[in-house]
Structure 1
Amino acid sequence: MNDFALMWDWLSYGVRWLHVITAIAWIGSSFYFIALDLGLVKRPGMMPEGVHGEEWQVHGGGFYHIQKYLVAPPSLPEHLTWFKWESYSTWASGFALLAIIYYAGADLYLIDRNVLDVSEPAAILISIASIGLGWLLYDLLCKSPLGKNDTALMLVLYAVLVAMSWGYTQLFTGRAAFLHLGAFTATIMTANVFLIIIPNQKIVVADLKAGKTPNPKLGAQAKQRSLHNNYLTLPVIFLMLSNHYPLAFGTQFNWVIASLIFIIGVLIRHYFNTMHARKGNPHWTWALSAILFVIIMWLSTVPTVLTGQERLSAAEERFIASAHFPAVRDAVMGRCTMCHAAEPGYDGVQTPPKNVLLDSDAAIAARAREIYLQSGRSHAMPPGNVSGMTESERRLLVTWFEEAR
């Protein structure tokens, strides 16, 4: 049991690292090409036939002369570099991480029995279905008559995201709700690449090789989906990072916070897109983003509405029922609550780190795995062992978790 838990935690760490690496590659290339496309300079009569624009860049001690053909060059080069694997590997590693943490630990991380009391298989099926149906709904909207009006389409899509922000909080824990909203959005982005952008580009290449004139609608459709991906990127990053910040996902108005984050992401991308297109510097976007972020901070501190006594999961009940729990509670209360309490007593700590509270039986049971890994199997907590946790107490935490789990 103990070796498996350690291996599983390292697997989670490794896949998370892979996910971050691939996301950096995808986002980096995406932002680069958006900036390149917007910054292209048009010189009528001074560029080769078919060239839409060009740009000179300098990097790494060298100069690059980049030209963009709106449809395609007269003859295709032997080698084409396709930018697709960054997107695919980001989604695949992200889904693997979702399965490792939220599906394998559904009773602790996915299901909130005070929100929706369902079995672990049912919760996992709801998760997968919601992510898949999100793409189908988005794709239908884009292909409908509404898709011909970019502004109207974006407004309707934002309404869908707001509805999903609220809907996920009615299905899962706050942490899982934010993560799923990010997965919902990221799936749309990757599906855009996998099902629209790359296939359309392959059709264009095939037509050119066959001596046919490519359909310009294919390029227009791909560009629309690429534009959506551009504006959705920053909110997805926020949602994926949110699991480390309970003030974002663990408050009464978490769905409103998520909804406002999408607006902030659009504002920031609008600034950079405008700047790259050499159409000015709309600094007002940063001012408005800052105002919205202050509103988010305020929303996270609004007192929650009491909805009754919190119900414990089956795993949490086992941890509390353990014969070792009284001693565990004494150890945690004595060594951890100097920081992890509603009113920390440690000098310089004004609020509990990461908003983690360990000052009640339910709170200790809910954080059993973290306590086991951070203070039992490792010496990560307390930091610097400032509270003097003993080796016997650490062994107690290990025994408690491994027997009750």
Structure 2
Amino acid sequence: MRSEYVFTSESVSEGHPDKVSDQISDAIVDLFLSKDPEARVACETLTTTQKVVLAGEIRCKGVYENGDWAPGALEEIEKVVRETVKAIGYEQDGFHWETFDFENYLHAQSAHIAQGVDSSGNKDEGAGDQGIMFGYASVETEDLMPATLDFSHKILHQMAQDRKSGAAPFLEPDAKSQVTLRYKDGVPVACTAIVVSTQHAPGYDKGEKEAELKAYVKSVVAKVIPAELLSDQTVYHINPTGSFEIGGPDGDAGLTGRKIIVDTYGGAAPHGGGAFSGKDPTKVDRSAAYVTRYLAKNVVAAGLAKMCTIQISYAIGVAQPLSLYVDTSGTGTVADEAIEAAITKIAAEKLGGLTPRGIRLGLGLNKPIYKPSAAYGHFGRKAQGDFFPWERTDLVEDLKAAVA
């Protein structure tokens, strides 16, 4: 590791067109899992000016079976889509929750995929696709996340709360943030730059109103980023292009799965390439990324390393992972190989193994818990009830005992 460097991560708001698509796709996943815990969903969403289009493959008892929709199912899907957009806050001429044109092209899951994924006879449930997935944790923040990403998410989340409460009525849903920190010996020591671009009401791109918007953004930054990291050397770029009135799907088309670095670790860790939103938990793109975060977070929480990256890989239709790799970047208190052995042992005991079925049953993923994850990051969130179970740190004592 370099002793001193500058690093940047970005986030996008719930009103960003790609995030609108992610939230719609995960609202569909939640709808189907609420009807059938064994539902199969691969839902992609396109959003653009006054239009939302769904496409993908599904299987769900009581909703879509043998190529037929259950009575009322299509209407319920459209209702969920419109309610998702309404909750985000889009009531604009170019994109309005009540009046956009809606098209649904969801259809039956491929029988050839199903035969590889489903369990039958002596065959365990297989992975929904081949691929590599990564999990990561770091001591940079109390949530064990990269600080650059954690701050970027929290700036936009606070702005969304203020927009919805009326505290910042000049804000519109679409926004982006970017935080640059200087690190020394792996610890953030200064914030060198902040970028925030936010959609705004007419007139907030000039004069006193522009000054009001910029002062507001700086006040949010001051709430989120520790005071000792901010100084008169911190450079702010707030709406650097000038005007940002046309935004969301009206300003730029949105697609599910285009913000995978925002969703994970802000570039501080590798990414296997697979998106999360719109996929049921048999898809290891999602569930294996969750379990590796869970394991990496527990490794760091147990004090076994200051940072931990875990890679896992699968083949489509095959239950057992092909590989498991741990890298603590020289920060481990025990050998990485010892952590690998401990993880394998504890996962078998506590989760039922690192098979797709073991992960989704062990973490309780067959539930309608995904829509909240589709904005402001899938990781670094608070585990609450059934939500964000991969953020628990309940393996700490087991890991300590396993490497003692």
* TM-score (normalised: structure 1): 0.24
Structure (1/2) with the larger helix percentage: 1
Structure 1 or 2, whichever has the larger Rg, is 1
User: Which structure is higher in RCO with an 8 Å CA cutoff and minimum separation 6?
Assistant: 2
* TM-score (normalised: structure 2): 0.24
